[in-house]
């Protein structure tokens, strides 16, 4: 098996209050840059052997802190980017409850059958994200890869890898906070086991 460490990028101005950032290239804010620095300190000396990140700026900036502390060059993979959220892109849930109540109700009932209008379908996001993760493992099967990406794409990939119905991804994995760590073992048959999820960074030895 290969133990893969997944990290969500640091905080942006759209994280609190939450707005659907999707594939909009929102930069890290001051807190997010500090979180990236903590991630870099945490990653140093942990034996990571490869580094992969989404092509969006907030993920690349987070990964750069790991590069600084470990010397690992980040491989940028667009398949790890967050989906485009269609009519929800750049908007908050509070706004959508007022302006798009029917679309929101349908999305909350089943985000796979009823994605946001003009959004990338969640099943497509899961497929590309899982393909990227499998390539990470294939390139570094005997190592310890670190992947920096985004909340929705990582939760969708985790559901497929762990056998959770994709329509339940928002209920089974309701949140993935900025700069948190998730670890899973990816087995030769493509299944996976979860070691920890949404764990905060406590320091170099946590």
Region 75-97 average pLDDT: 97
Measured between its terminal Cα atoms, the distance across the chain in Å is: 22
Helices 57-70 and 30-43: crossing angle in degrees, nearest 10, is 40
Rg (CA), the chain: 16
The CA distance from 130 to 79, in Å, is 9
Region 64-93 average pLDDT: 97
Per residue in 1-40, pLDDT (tens digit) is 899 999 999 999 999 888 999 999 999 999 999 999 999 9
Domain segments of the chain as ranges: 7-200
Residue 206: pLDDT band with limits 50, 70, 90: low
Q: Is the model's pLDDT at 189 over the cut of 80? A: no
Q: Which CATH class is domain 7-200?
A: alpha beta
Quick one: pLDDT at residue 17?
Answer: 82
Residue 203: pLDDT band with limits 50, 70, 90: low
Mean pLDDT of the chain: 94
Q: Is the model's pLDDT at 118 over the cut of 50? A: yes
Neighbours of 6 (CB within 10 A): 24
The CA distance from 38 to 40, in Å, is 5
Region 175-181 average pLDDT: 97
3-class DSSP string for the chain: CEEEEEEECCCECCCCCCECCCCCCCCECHHHHHHHHHHHHHHCCCCCCEEEECCCHHHHHHHHHHHHHHCCCEEECHHHCCCCCHHHCCCEHHHHHHHCHHHHHHHHHCCCCCCCCCCCCHHHHHHHHHHHHHHHHHHCCCCCEEEEECHHHHHHHHHHHHCCCHHHHHHHCCCCCCCEEEEEEECCCCCEEEEEEEEECCCCCC
Residue 205: pLDDT band with limits 50, 70, 90: very low
Q: Is the model's pLDDT at 119 over the cut of 50? A: yes
Region 63-83 average pLDDT: 98
Task: Point out which residues pair with 76 in neighbouring strands.
Answer: 53
**Omega of the bond prior to 17 within 30 degrees of 0, cis?**
yes
% of the chain beyond a pLDDT of 70? 97
Tokens of 44: 């140093």
Region 80-85 average pLDDT: 98
């Amino acid at each position: 098996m290969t133990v893969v460490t997944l990290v969500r990028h640091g905080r942006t101005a759209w994280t609190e209050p939450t707005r659907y950032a999707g594939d909009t290239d929102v930069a890290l804010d001051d807190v997010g840059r500090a979180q990236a620095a903590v991630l870099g300190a945490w990653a140093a000396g942990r034996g990571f052997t490869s580094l992969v990140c989404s092509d969006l700026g907030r993920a690349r900036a987070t990964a750069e802190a790991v590069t600084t502390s470990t010397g690992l060059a980040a491989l940028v993979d667009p398949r790890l980017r967050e989906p485009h959220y269609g009519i929800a892109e750049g908007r908050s849930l509070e706004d959508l409850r007022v302006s798009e109540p029917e679309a929101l109700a349908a999305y909350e009932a089943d985000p796979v059958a009823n994605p946001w209008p003009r959004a990338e379908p969640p099943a497509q996001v899961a497929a590309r994200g899982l393909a990227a993760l499998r390539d990470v493992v294939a390139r570094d099967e005997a190592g310890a890869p670190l992947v920096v990406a985004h909340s929705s794409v990582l939760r969708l990939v985790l559901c497929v890898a762990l056998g959770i119905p994709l329509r339940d991804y928002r209920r089974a994995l309701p949140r993935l906070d900025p700069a948190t760590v998730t670890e899973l073992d990816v087995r030769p048959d493509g299944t996976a086991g979860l070691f920890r999820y949404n764990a905060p960074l406590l320091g170099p030895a946590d």
